[in-house]
Structure formats: C-alpha cells, structure tokens
Structure 1
C-alpha cells in the first residue's frame, strides 16, 4: 500500500528532511504500525512480550563487537510518544482506514511502560548474545524495533572499528576521528563521533559532536588554505606563518606540494627557535618512506597521518617502520561492513517462541549471557535462560529500566571508554587480532537447548494436528 504523506505535516516538521526528537516515534517502518493495528484488533496488543536485539554472525574479519548506542536508545524510550499531528498524518494516508479504534487509543496514550535489560556500553559481545532485551506490552515492543536497531547497529559498528584501531595503534598513538564528511547523514556523523570517542579515539574534528560531548574538537588545516595563501603570498612558508599567527604552534598540513621539502624548512625554524610546532600531518604519498624522511628533519615533532586509513593499513605502516605518532580516521571508520543486528520476539504471554527459518534460527525465551573470567581474561561465554544460576560467572545484561522507570544514571564518555579498553584487553589474542580472528565460541546451556527442542516439538505437534483436521 502506497499513499502520499500528509502535506501539512511534511511542511511543518520535515522541512529540509530534518528530524526532531518529537518526530522519532514515526521514524519507523510501516509494518511496525500495521502489525500493531492487527494486534489491537485481535485483542493481544497488551499481552506481555519479550524482544531481544542481537547479531547472528559477526561481520567478516571481526572477532568481536563492542556494544554501543544504549544511551541514545534509552533517551528515545524516555521521550517516546505520538502527537495529535502525527496521528492525523497517519490517518490521512488512508492506509489505516480499517484499523480498530483501539489502535488509535494506544498510540494517543503511548508511553513506554516496560523493562529494559542491556549490556553496558563498551562491553564486548559475540554472535547470538543479546545486547538488549525489551519486556513490555506487545505493541510497545513491536513499535520500538526500527529505531533501536538503527542506533545500536551503527554505533556498535563504529565502536568496534575504533576499538580495533586503538588495539592495533597502541595506547601511545593519538587517534582522531575525521569522518563527518563521509558519514551517511548529519545524525550519523554525531553518532559516529560519539561511538569513536567512547571506544578509544582521543578527539573528533566534528565541532558540534565535541561540544555536545563536553570535549575539545581537534584538527589541523586543509590544502585549500595552503594553496590560497601561498598563491597570493608566493610562499608555502608564508601560508604556515599566517596560520600560526592566529593559531600559534598548531599542527600543519605539509603535503600540499613537497612533504619532505616542507619538513626540512620547518625543521630549521624549529631548531633555530623561530617556531614552535605541535605536529605535522601527511595525507598522501608513501607514508612509510615520507614519514621516515620527515622524522629526520623534525625529530621531536609529532607526525600525524590520514587518508583512507583503517586498522589493517595502520598495522602495515607500523610493520614497515613508519615514523607516525598519530592517525586521522575518516571514511573507513564511519563506513564499512554493517553490523547486521536483528530484533526478535522470544516470548509472548509467558510462551517461549522462536524462528526456525534455515540459517536464521533463533533461541526462545528470555536469555542472559554468562561470562567466565580467569585472572582477568575471558575464558568462555554461555548463553542461557534468565532463570539459570550463574555461579562463578557474571551476567552481562543489566536491568536499565523497570516498568518505565529509568534506573541508571547516564554514564560519562570516560567511563564507557575505560570499559571498552578493559573489555578488549580481557580477550584472548586470537580473538583480538585483525587477521583471521577467531570469535569466542558461545556455549548454549543445557536448559536453553532443552527449551529450544521443546518449543520446536510443540510447534510441530500443533502443525501436524492442524493438518490432520483438514
């Protein structure tokens, strides 16, 4: 079914396709709303249901994921509602002409009243392990799916990439997030900056993101300034001097014309005490060879590199002897292999349910992830039911919201960053490595295996009985 959007609503709140907080309840897939209307009509909308968000398989080349995006998910739940203008816009589409009045009543009074269990941001997770579980009336849990997947999938991808880059680059390297111009949207750019900082990056060039997060933005300059000022003054050095007039000692981009030549001239000024220099940036060329030559002229000045870098390229540069102290990460940080998280119903009205499609089987019932450590290192993960005991094992999912009441105080970015570092450090080397990593095998508990087989058997028995009645 296709219908034109409400012109009035479109012009009043979607001018320029900008999305406000008030619009987020409609930032969903149509089928979430049509299913909710069906639930309402069938009298099951308020039945208690449990949905779990997890990743079936890790992206190719990844040994782990770093959970991220929970803060934005909880903010969304706190403000989740439908305005009268939104309801009018939905009615004007004509799609819901046969929807029951109870559907409209639910939306008009919408407020999240359920429970949320989730792993804290910065926690390492693996395939089939829930990052989040919603326990709420069926209609609420259903309508939340699209936004929760959007915010958690993307930030988890960025956080994982950032954590891997930090792990490869080492603790001493300066890592800057430069991805705003390559992010998929302005909102995506803000989320990418947040996730990158929370997972190990030192700073972002995105001014809005930095100020919102209470950090200092960081950056250098572009080739345009060097070309513009040198063209008019006749000298690249004059361009550098002009920039330092207003930003004393700031890092300089030196590869506009001749990186080594610029470094040689700057080196003389630094040695003669004519200039203080916080760093130089290289954005092109053979970074191994060029950085070595630049280092010979600027032995005490930090050298930064940028230009389509990722964890594999940083590893190659380090192995080749590059003299680089910091890296600017952009395109390959904020894009790349998607985290294909899914959100599936696992229980309805106390009845465990599961999906049995080939290669897309899900496990029934409310679950917990039990992690076992030995001397601070992860030994094993066990996926089990929430009713199971966890002797000598810590349950990763924590209660964040109870009956609509938000229990946790929002965490500082520094806390999440520390958790990310500790989580990655606790993993075996074979899981952390970026070349042919081995993801930790997640054990399925006996109780969960038993419930899975029982759920399958009951469904098969019902199906066979229905067929025999035909």
Structure 2
C-alpha cells in the first residue's frame, strides 16, 4: 500500500500553477513527481536528446560504497514507494510551461519538449526484496531503460531508498537489541525531516520490526491501529483544574482505558503509588505506564515493585545503544517509544551510477568514488542459516553456489509484476535477514561487515576497462 499523499484530499482543490513566484504550496502531490528532481537530470536529458542517444538502452545501479559508522549492514527499504513513483511519472502541460518559462532550456532541442509531454517510464527494475540485508557495493536496485528515463529518475529513487533504508536499518538494530519480546513504538513524527519523511519513516520502521506508530495518517494508510499514550500537558492541565494527579489519571483512563499512563510529570514514584492504590481499590485496570525522564534504571526498578505485572514503557531520545545499556544495568522495562534517534541519523550515502549503455559496460574511476562495470547480481551463500560468503558477479556468469541471485525482476516495461508486499511479510524477512548475520556483524561497537568478493568475470572486466 502506498503512503503517498491521498489524491482524494488536497488534489481535489484548485492548485496554484507550478513555478509561480507567489505559490506558497510546498506540499508534495503525486503529479509533482516529475519536477521533484535535480536540474541536471533535465539538462542531461536535453543533451541526450540533442545528441540522439536518448533512446539507447542504459543500466544504472543504486548502491552504497560504505556503511554509516558502527553499522555492519543495511536493510534495503523503500522499493514500494520507488515503484509508485515510476508508475505515476509524467509531465503535465503546466509543468512543461513552467520549465520553458525559466529560460534555462532556450537552446534545448524542440524534441525535448515532445519527449517530456509524451513520455512515461517504460523500463525494467531489478531489486533486492525489501527487508534484505545488504553490504557495500551491492546494488539495492538496477534500472534498465532508455537513457533519458533512467537518468531522470535518479534523484527520487535515491531519496526514498536512502532514507527508508536508514530508518529500516536502525529499526532492525533496535529490535535486535531489545529482543523479540519488547514492545517497540515509533514516535518520531515531530522530529522526522518533513511530513512526507515522517510517513516514510513510519512505514520503514514497521517493515523492519517496530510494532506500531503514533503517526495517525501513516497507521491508517498502512492498515494499522495507531498507538500512543499522552503528553505531560494533559496531566498538568487536568491536575490544575481537577485537583490532583490521581484525578487526572482517572479522567484519562475513563475515556481511554487501554492506553498506558504517563507517570513522570511530577514525582514518578509517588504517581506509581497512586496508581497502585487505585488498582487495589479496583478503580482502574491498568494496561501500562510510561516513563520519559530521569534515571530509567532505578526508577523502573522502583515502579516494578509498586506495580508488579504492569508493563513499563520508556521513552526519551532512546536508541539501540541506550537500550543495551538499560538492559545490562537491570532496568525493568517492557517496551520503548522511539523517536528522534530512530527517524534521524547518519545518512546512507547511496549513489546511482551508469554501469552499461547499449551493452557496453562502463565504470567510474574517480579515486574513492569508483564504481564497478556491467549489470551485476548478488550471490549469497548460507551454512546453518548464517551468511558465510557473498559474491558480486556479472549477470552473464553462472552462480558460484546453488543460491539464486538476490536481485529480482520487479518491474517490466513500465509495469509492476507483483502487488506491493504486506508489511508483515517484509518485517519477517527483515527478522530473518538479521538472524542470518554472524554475531560480529550484529554487534553495536565496531561491527565487522561481510567481505563482498568480486567474481572472476567482474575482475576481468574491471581489468579490461581500467587504464
């Protein structure tokens, strides 16, 4: 299911013309996809058309040369939104007029405008399934299409795959550290990089093992029930107007008896005592409490003695490192609300490089920023359920193992081959991927990473192209 902006909402209203200086509308709509690109994608397209090579068959691969610091792997994510984009990509007359009005393309060939007006994405997409662990230089996705189309889509593909892969990887690490029994909620909407980013972050987190999200729009679009508690402001407002914190708890519990209660507004331990008394008196059926501040180890231990059997949730800028520390220190916490440090973080520096044009393999040789030539496949070998070998080879080569390649054809001649996968299936694949990683790769401090071997054929091709 796509979480792009709902076309039945703002799209039903008249919208300002693209390119108008007085247009304040910076919300993203599906018909804007074509212009959500870097200028050089369009100028290069014009050049390709002018030189008569725009229809040459080209292959671009999207991959990361290196992992973020202290990451031993990445979890591929964002394919569903990438395919949504490719399916809907087109230029409207209004958009073409706005581009013409810039004056930038005054020397572009007339055919450039015809191509934009009539063009749709007609290529093929090969990709690893969402939830798959990947390593440096392994393609997450390959585009095979007429050169102008394959070039134009670079920016949007990098945006969605880089960001969702980052969030999915962090979510997978959090689940790995917290363990399968912990309840994990995504609370990051207010700290995500944009409203659109918050939707993508929620989706990637759920697809990588987080239990639920507080983002109402994302949850409902993804077929989930949103989850959450309350803010300190409710406790303060009800306490000020109704007399006591205990009365505030009772009031909220009356309307939302299944929601955990936030107990650290004033005195966490005293609040736990108040709730213990209400439990003993049969006034409430407490489903959980949340702590958002203070020494979470000591406080959770004391709350556990007062509220035995009641789930304790913790929040407050938590990440996998802090959860590991809390666990090792003996904290009595059953679940975690994860916000800022889940939906932000060190970037996944995925790149998008031309690897073949009209059957001719090409490679970038820049120092520290090179690429490998030719269309490639990833071959992974397992023993006893764990990855023991990884090889990057040309698609023309035979698999070195009995395992099939990870890259699969998912989009053929501009059309999806299969419907979007359920989040539950992707989450299970993520869990299986993480479980298949050796412990040294999963550890948080200075993790190792799988050494990706280059096949003999790929090494020979590199040698042939290199000076």
TM-score (norm 2): 0.95
Inter-partner Cα distance in structure 2 for 1:355 and 1:67: 24
Distance 1:34 1:306, change over 3 A: same
Are the counterparts in 1 of residues 168 and 204 from structure 2 also a CA contact under 8 Å? yes
- Residue 85 of structure 1 deviates from its aligned partner by 0.6
What does 1:248-327 correspond to in 2, within 5 Å? 248-327=257-336
- Residue 248 of structure 1 deviates from its aligned partner by 1.7
Q: Secondary structure at the match of 1:346?
A: strand
What does 1:44-443 correspond to in 2, within 5 Å? 44-390=53-399, 391-443=401-453
Inter-partner Cα distance in structure 2 for 1:8 and 1:276: 55
Inter-partner Cα distance in structure 2 for 1:146 and 1:127: 20
Inter-partner Cα distance in structure 1 for 2:301 and 2:232: 22
Aligned to 1:37: 46
Distance 1:121 1:30, change over 3 A: same
Inter-partner Cα distance in structure 1 for 2:36 and 2:286: 47
Inter-partner Cα distance in structure 1 for 2:110 and 2:430: 47
- Residue 79 of structure 1 deviates from its aligned partner by 0.6
Residue by residue over 1:155-193, the C-alpha shift from the partner in whole angstroms, topping out at 9 and shown as x without a partner, is 000000000000000000000000000001000000000
Are the counterparts in 1 of residues 55 and 148 from structure 2 also a CA contact under 8 Å? yes
- Residue 14 of structure 1 deviates from its aligned partner by 5.7
Q: Secondary structure at the match of 2:300?
A: helix
Residue by residue over 1:202-240, the C-alpha shift from the partner in whole angstroms, topping out at 9 and shown as x without a partner, is 000000000000001000000000000101112001111
Question: How many residues are aligned here?
Answer: 451
Q: Secondary structure at the match of 2:431?
A: helix
Are the counterparts in 2 of residues 249 and 275 from structure 1 also a CA contact under 8 Å? no
TM-score (norm 1): 0.94
Inter-partner Cα distance in structure 2 for 1:127 and 1:258: 48
- Residue 15 of structure 1 deviates from its aligned partner by 4.1
Inter-partner Cα distance in structure 1 for 2:314 and 2:156: 36
Aligned to 1:453: 463
Are the counterparts in 1 of residues 253 and 284 from structure 2 also a CA contact under 8 Å? no
Inter-partner Cα distance in structure 1 for 2:173 and 2:416: 32
- Residue 342 of structure 1 deviates from its aligned partner by 0.3
Residue by residue over 1:102-150, the C-alpha shift from the partner in whole angstroms, topping out at 9 and shown as x without a partner, is 2111111111111100000000000000000000000000000000000
Inter-partner Cα distance in structure 2 for 1:206 and 1:14: 28
Are the counterparts in 2 of residues 372 and 394 from structure 1 also a CA contact under 8 Å? no
- Residue 12 of structure 1 deviates from its aligned partner by 11
Runs of 5+ in structure 1 lacking a partner? Answer: 1-6, 458-470
Inter-partner Cα distance in structure 2 for 1:383 and 1:13: 50
Aligned to 1:4: none
Inter-partner Cα distance in structure 2 for 1:311 and 1:257: 27
Q: What is the alpha-carbon root mean square deviation over aligned residues?
A: 1.2
* Larger helix percent: 1
Residue by residue over 1:28-81, the C-alpha shift from the partner in whole angstroms, topping out at 9 and shown as x without a partner, is 000000000000000111100000000000000000000000000001010111
Runs of 5+ in structure 2 lacking a partner? Answer: 1-15
